[in-house]
Structure 1
């Protein structure tokens, strides 16, 4: 009889735990509109990979900063957060746009006209955080971010984004409240993997509070080792549309 009681209690406890976990998973995911704002805010601010460099000096130190921007010469798109990205020491400038798409957050990344200078935009007064939409290239590279309890995970496998040499870049990213882990796999036109270096960005400052006029911000990411940098300078093969490369 005691064994029956113990078995019954154990079964009831297991069933209760399973119901609790299932219920929690069912109600935890926030609305998609909230996800767009949350992941964008987690991208906001100043990041670098100094902790990773300390344990692997072959990887260059990269700093990322971003700020929310308004686009001029265009009608605003409801539910879309537009963010300007500036990356150093490997210079890279991009417009990141977060929006809703089906059951995920869509991240669209576009480059600028070569003659359009936006360096230091985030250091200017907030009233000057604007970009001329006519200077933003139409071609974009996209990636979907899926919500998890503590982070957002995305990749654009297997198609990736095309490179100027006929190859492609397949990008993976995990975004958490205080860090961004990214990996770009760059393939040549023959399908061979040229290089792939994971980069671990960590937040340098606290998450800024979203404001009424600024909206939510984002950061771009990607880094390469010194060997990759030398190859990249020699080849200039990665296209403007790839997600996280440092061209």
Structure 2
């Protein structure tokens, strides 16, 4: 009888402990699209990774939201301009996040001409506009699945075709303050050429010059108002002297 009571007590304690160990529930896919795009927006680098492994190339990444001259091709999507730089390469891409049936669809495209786009994220938000005709037709796609406050994507084993006839197989994990990515580049003969994981960590968010200018303007207006009030007060004193 004592064993039975002990068993029921164990079950009861387990049930009472369950609320504290509740599993996080995935948000609606529409919200996931906005969340992963927001997490992907900002200034990133892999400085911490390079410090621990100097053989890793140092890379900076600037990602910012953009508007398109024609939104019909990417309707209801969160569109991001990406610019990566290192001593060895420059990578400029168009990332589009949209709703899928079971997760977030990510479409990655090249540009026809990168030249007019360089340093686009340094521009005010209202000036970050991309000509839709400058976005390439070929798309490398991944499906991002929400997994306990992170998004995981992988397009193995087929990957995406690249210019010289090979393919790139991508694995990526998005989370609030960083991105872990691995692009494995294979030759046309399926020989692995490059396989370096990169651990990007956020350094800061993309500044919005319009917001900053608004603060400056508010400060200038406040200073001007204070000077005006002081001048009016001095005039009042001078005209009311006995």
Short-chain TM bin: 0.7 to 0.9
Q: Does 1:88 align with 2:85?
A: yes
1:14-25 matched pairs, under 5 angstroms = 14-15=14-15, 17=17, 24-25=22-23
TM-score normalized by the length of structure 1? 0.77
Label 1:118 to 1:183 Cα distance change in 2 as closer, same or farther (>3 A).
same
Q: Does 1:38 align with 2:35?
A: yes
* Counterparts of 1:171 and 1:38, CA distance in 2: 21
Match of 2:132 in 1: 133
Label 1:208 to 1:10 Cα distance change in 2 as closer, same or farther (>3 A).
farther
Paired residue total: 207
Deviations 1:98-146 (A, max 9, x none): 0011111011011111365201111112221100001111111011110
Structure 2 portions without partners, runs of 5+: 211-242
Shift of 1:207: 7.9
Q: Does 1:48 align with 2:45?
A: yes
Secondary structure (helix, strand or coil) at the match of 1:9 reads helix
Answer whether contact 1:33 1:79 (CA < 8 A) is retained. Answer: no
Deviations 1:158-196 (A, max 9, x none): 110012232211100111111111111111222222220
Match of 1:105 in 2: 104
Q: Does 1:63 align with 2:65?
A: no
Label 1:115 to 1:181 Cα distance change in 2 as closer, same or farther (>3 A).
closer
Q: Which has the higher contact order (CA 8 A, sep 6+)?
A: 1
Q: Does 1:157 align with 2:163?
A: no
Computed over aligned residues only, the root mean square deviation of the Cα atoms, in angstroms, reads: 2.3
TM-score normalized by the length of structure 2? 0.78
Structure 1 portions without partners, runs of 5+: 212-247
58-67 or 160-169, larger mean C-alpha shift: 160-169
* Counterparts of 1:18 and 1:183, CA distance in 2: 36
Deviations 1:23-54 (A, max 9, x none): x44x7110000000001111110000000001
In proportion to residue count, which structure has more helix?
2
Answer whether contact 1:42 1:207 (CA < 8 A) is retained. Answer: no
Match of 1:245 in 2: none
Label 1:182 to 1:204 Cα distance change in 2 as closer, same or farther (>3 A).
same
Answer whether contact 1:144 1:154 (CA < 8 A) is retained. Answer: yes
* Counterparts of 1:120 and 1:199, CA distance in 2: 22
Shift of 1:9: 1.5
Shift of 1:5: 1.0
Match of 2:10 in 1: 10
Deviating runs (4+, > 6 A) in structure 1? none
Shift of 1:8: 1.1
- Structure 1 or 2, whichever has the larger Rg, is 2
Q: Does 1:118 align with 2:112?
A: no
Label 1:135 to 1:201 Cα distance change in 2 as closer, same or farther (>3 A).
same
Label 1:119 to 1:144 Cα distance change in 2 as closer, same or farther (>3 A).
same
